Structure 1
Amino acid sequence: MIETAVLPARRGLRLPSTLSGIAGVAVIVVLAPLLGVALAAARGPWAGLSVGTLTDYATTSAVLAVGVGVLASLLGVGSAWLVAQYRFPGRGAFSWLLVLPLAAPTFALAYGYADLLDVAGPLRTWLRQDFDIEVPGTMRSLPGSVMVLSLAFYPYVYLAVRDALLNRSSSAHEAARALGASPARVFWRVTLPMARPALAAGLALTLMETLADYGAVSFLSVQTLTTGVVRVWSVNGSPASAALLGLPLIGTAAALLILERWSRSHRAYGVHAGGWRPVPGRTLTGWRAVLATSACSLLLVVAFILPLGWLGWNGLQSTPEWPRLAAAAGRVAALGVAGALVATALALALALAGRGRPLLTRLAGLGYATPGAVMAIGLLVPAGLLWRAMPGPGWMFGIGLVLLIYAYASRLMAAALEPIASALTRARPSMSDAARALGRTPLGTAWSVHVPLASGGLLTAALIVFIDVVKELPATLILRPFNFDTLAVLADAYARDERIGQAAWPALMIVVVAMPACLWLTRRISRARPGGSPQGDD
């Protein structure tokens, strides 16, 4: 979802200086908060932070990332293999239903499972009272966080691997079978190696999101680097300490971005559009078909229906505060639209002016890989200077909103860039030449020729940014103006007070808002094959 494809330079198309300037501004928008983090960390003093605390945060983050990476890969690869390789009842529906966890914020799954499976939860109470079975452990732990985040993020692996398996050509498969290889050997020696770059890309995205998560791990009492950033800022009031915790996150984000880009550059291995033929899926019957349908159904229930269903049941047992919910929904809708417009506009300029300039798009990609909490900390120093210079509280409120939209745009611009850049590949040099021959300026050519061609990509980019803004929590907590609650902030406040029934309403409202856009994007992304024909799901 964040691949920042670089368009090849077009001969005969001169880049408009205005767009080049805007593209430069877009890169500065991404890099400025990261530079602010480095400067804040260097200034000190580091209140409330010791070497031991920093080590504990880093160790917990590393263990969490490894656990989520392994479990999410198993879930994502297994479900993608079933959907792409076999035909069984419900396969067409599962192909898009299995991405539904992407529409839910991680903290919603955490609320549902913490209440359902904790020591005093109804399930364990029932097992203890009726069957005298004592289940060890608690959901508010590192293993509980691994479980929740794996269920929330496995769709990144699923989408990447499913796309690779569906788009592989049958030529290598047929050659291996002609040499006498068994189906199992073909999978391990041909199919899996060809899908490995896609797995690496999905895994990199999963690890980025895991390290950036705040709502779920904070509620489940797991102290990671990201929760530490928010904690030392809010409790100790130390931007320098928060920035120091953010530096290893930025370094890890850069490494994961390099891994993701490397995997993208190898994704076309073995796929040739000219002679591409799909690998025929094997039809399952009898108990094998029942087993495949049951496995996909179980994953969907565990990752989406069960936690959100239980959360909804809790919500029905409480009385929602409708005025507060309506106000929060209006605020997050306005922020989502504003963030989508700004990020999409900057991404469009970068896509148009960044042709032949891969460094610009690589730098923009660093923003998405950086956690929102770290981006927000990088903006605190200029925010403080602006607030002190303003004559009244009204100005402070407006500056807070501007900085919040800035944080969204700087982090999500790379997510908007990929669909726009992909849409612009349809622009031919002859189109630009014809527009210039009719007297269009370079900027007018971009507006009248390239922007209409990229309209579908622009809509996709705007929806991607909107979904992420609606679910965003840590950056909003740090930068929001006083008493400015979004749905995510409201859910977090209720959950901290252990009012899970009240927290269910804003959490589920986020799911309702994000689900249609998420499903539309998923079906759009999974529809194209190397030959340009749509994919048909049974």
Structure 2
Amino acid sequence: MRLMALGAAVVALAPLAGVVWAAMQPGLADIAGKDVARYALTSGALALGVAAATAVVGSLAAWLTAMHRFPGRDVFAWALALPLAAPAFALAYAYAQLFDVAGPLRMGMRAGFGWDLPIQMRSAPGAIFVLSCAFYPYVFLAMRAAFLNQSVHPLEAARTLGCSARQAFVQVALPLARPALAAGMALAVMETLADYGAVQFLSVQTLTTGVVRAWSVYGSPASAARFALPLLATAAVLLWLERWGRRGRGYESAHARYRPLQAEALTGWRAVAATGFCLTLLTLALILPVGFLLLRSLEVTPGWSRLLAAAGRTLGMGALGAGATVILATLLALGATRLPVTARIASLGYATPGAVMAIGLLAPAAVLWRLSPGSSSGLVVGVALLTYAYAARLMAAALEPIEAGFAKVTPAMIGAARNLGRSETGAALAIQLPIARGALLTAALIVFIDVLKELPATLILRPFDFDTLAVLASNYAGDERLPQAGWPALMIIALALPGVIWLTRKIAASRPGASQ
């Protein structure tokens, strides 16, 4: 098991070592060097803006749905996580049209109120708005779980000492949930730094767009790797923050007997305000952009043959990526108890943007393509490299639920299997895997959804004429054919939404007090 866990960790680490190796190679395009600092500053500004926005919005939504009862609360408790099904670039396509000079929102404001909206969507503030809508569910889910797992004793003590409900939230509940807040914000920032489709369409130049541009325009893997190095360093810091956030559940006394929170019923204007806030958030993050994309897409007849072919490739890569990732993550989880450092090594891939993973695989890709000439072999090599990139990046995402599933297996169960003559591998097959099969399905769904939305790694590593739905949407959007771009974007949402609904409802049902 130790060797298998070590092998899985090497699989995740190899592309990152490839980035460092490529950055040391000769060959410097004009884009590298002088623009790295500017792109890094833009990425930093986006990260800070998204971190602040998601922290405020996600925490408030989690506080309302976890600790209060108001009209629609049971629906919002899981529906507010549904924007995870929508790729950020789909929201960017919709809002760029809505806030365009001749867009319906601007035209409506001019006609109805005689003034223009002071918002330019194709800018850094516009990108912060779009990415915050797409990634606030990470903070919402983490904070809601933290609030539901808190005991009522500290809040009761605060109220006894004269704190209002708002003061108890700010001074007690929020500090207790600070580790979860750090973890959720770290995940949102990771996704912000990894995003390519939304920021590229909104004309915001970040390190990730620099990686793709250096490769696709200048053809310089060395320059792309130099853009990737700051992302890699930032990913390591964010991973540490996210790990630190999940290591503790707060600062609650271990000696106090746990008693779950009792949700407070809101009435009057407070109930209206809570429902209005949650509904507005869900509308901005999902209902409005997806509905607008649907309306615009109905204006054109899609090329169904190309669209369905891209959907088939997307589903195929999702299945391959999920299968390979779950297998590697399972091997890692089985051996991580004896070699825990392997889990930390493998987790670095999750904090690394897909574009960086792709750059790390360019050198072995070139060797494999030279050794296997021909379109059919090139297709096999390209699909294998894409699967590898997905597995290396998403292994940690699969590792978390799998480790939680294996935690249900007690040492006595393993000991009984070994006493009956089972080997270590036989005990895993007979005991651990059957007990954790629900966790394995959860891990597969998480990876599948992420692969459906992955764009930069697919753009760089895909075989010739191998367009997934994300690539097809990006190509249409690049040609400013936004109604056509809406169709593949909507298909991604349609494919991801059932899995997201299942996952969010399962998470909501598994939390203490979720049924209150």
3-state SS, counterpart of residue 51 of structure 1: coil
Gaps of 5+ in 2: none
Amino acid at match of 1:403: L
Tell me what 2:514 maps to: 535
3-state SS, counterpart of residue 466 of structure 2: coil
Matched, 1:519 2:501: yes
Tell me what 2:149 maps to: 167
3-state SS, counterpart of residue 52 of structure 1: coil
Offset, 1:198: 0.7
Offset, 1:356: 4.0
Tell me what 1:341 maps to: 323
Please, what is the CA RMSD of the aligned residues?
Answer: 1.5
Offset, 1:85: 2.0
Distance in structure 2 (CA, Å) of the matches to 1:391 and 1:195? 55
Offset, 1:432: 1.4
Tell me what 2:358 maps to: 376
Tell me what 2:301 maps to: 319
Distance in structure 1 (CA, Å) of the matches to 2:398 and 2:24? 32
3-state SS, counterpart of residue 368 of structure 1: coil
CA contact 2:322–2:444 (8 Å) conserved in 1: yes
3-state SS, counterpart of residue 348 of structure 2: helix
3-state SS, counterpart of residue 35 of structure 2: helix
Distance in structure 2 (CA, Å) of the matches to 1:535 and 1:296? 17
Tell me what 2:193 maps to: 211
Distance in structure 1 (CA, Å) of the matches to 2:116 and 2:334? 61
Deviations 1:107-160 (A, max 9, x none): 010001101111121221233345432334421111110000001101111111
Q: 1:133 aligns with which of 115, 118, 125?
A: 115
Matches within 5 A, 1:21-420: 21-129=3-111, 131-270=113-252, 275-420=257-402
Distance in structure 2 (CA, Å) of the matches to 1:311 and 1:184? 38
Distance in structure 2 (CA, Å) of the matches to 1:250 and 1:130? 48
Amino acid at match of 2:179: P
Identical counterparts, % of pairs: 57
CA contact 2:313–2:468 (8 Å) conserved in 1: yes
CA contact 2:212–2:224 (8 Å) conserved in 1: yes
CA contact 1:167–1:271 (8 Å) conserved in 2: no
Amino acid at match of 1:431: M
Deviations 1:57-82 (A, max 9, x none): 00110111111111111111111111
Amino acid at match of 1:249: L
Tell me what 1:446 maps to: 428
Q: 2:487 aligns with which of 505, 529, 538?
A: 505
Amino acid at match of 1:279: L
Tell me what 1:426 maps to: 408
Amino acid at match of 1:151: C
Compare 48-57 and 219-228 and name the one that shifted more: 48-57
Amino acid at match of 1:374: V
Distance in structure 2 (CA, Å) of the matches to 1:391 and 1:42? 28
Distance in structure 1 (CA, Å) of the matches to 2:432 and 2:413? 9
Distance in structure 1 (CA, Å) of the matches to 2:332 and 2:250? 25
Cα–Cα, structure 1 residues 437 and 358, in superposed 2: closer, same or farther, change >3 Å? closer
Offset, 1:511: 0.5
Compare 107-116 and 174-183 and name the one that shifted more: 174-183
Compare 136-145 and 158-167 and name the one that shifted more: 136-145
Distance in structure 1 (CA, Å) of the matches to 2:255 and 2:291? 43
Distance in structure 2 (CA, Å) of the matches to 1:81 and 1:408? 34
* TM-score for the superposition, normalised by structure 2: 0.97
Deviations 1:255-299 (A, max 9, x none): 000011111112253175983211222111112211111111111
CA contact 1:367–1:414 (8 Å) conserved in 2: yes
Amino acid at match of 1:102: L
Amino acid at match of 2:91: L
CA contact 1:173–1:279 (8 Å) conserved in 2: no
Offset, 1:393: 3.1
Compare 51-60 and 225-234 and name the one that shifted more: 51-60
Distance in structure 1 (CA, Å) of the matches to 2:253 and 2:289? 39
Tell me what 1:456 maps to: 438
Deviations 1:368-397 (A, max 9, x none): 000000000000011111111224332222
Amino acid at match of 2:174: L
Cα–Cα, structure 1 residues 362 and 126, in superposed 2: closer, same or farther, change >3 Å? same
Tell me what 1:7 maps to: none
Offset, 1:430: 1.5
Q: 2:472 aligns with which of 484, 487, 490?
A: 490
3-state SS, counterpart of residue 483 of structure 1: coil
CA contact 1:29–1:410 (8 Å) conserved in 2: yes
Deviations 1:1-21 (A, max 9, x none): xxxxxxxxxxxxxxxxxx322
Compare 352-361 and 25-34 and name the one that shifted more: 352-361
Gaps of 5+ in 1: 1-18
Offset, 1:429: 1.5
Compare 105-114 and 260-269 and name the one that shifted more: 260-269
Tell me what 1:467 maps to: 449
Amino acid at match of 2:37: T
Tell me what 1:9 maps to: none
Distance in structure 1 (CA, Å) of the matches to 2:64 and 2:446? 27
Distance in structure 2 (CA, Å) of the matches to 1:286 and 1:138? 37
CA contact 1:169–1:272 (8 Å) conserved in 2: no
3-state SS, counterpart of residue 24 of structure 2: helix
Amino acid at match of 1:58: A
Deviations 1:149-199 (A, max 9, x none): 001101111111111111100122223333444433322221111011111
Cα–Cα, structure 1 residues 124 and 248, in superposed 2: closer, same or farther, change >3 Å? same
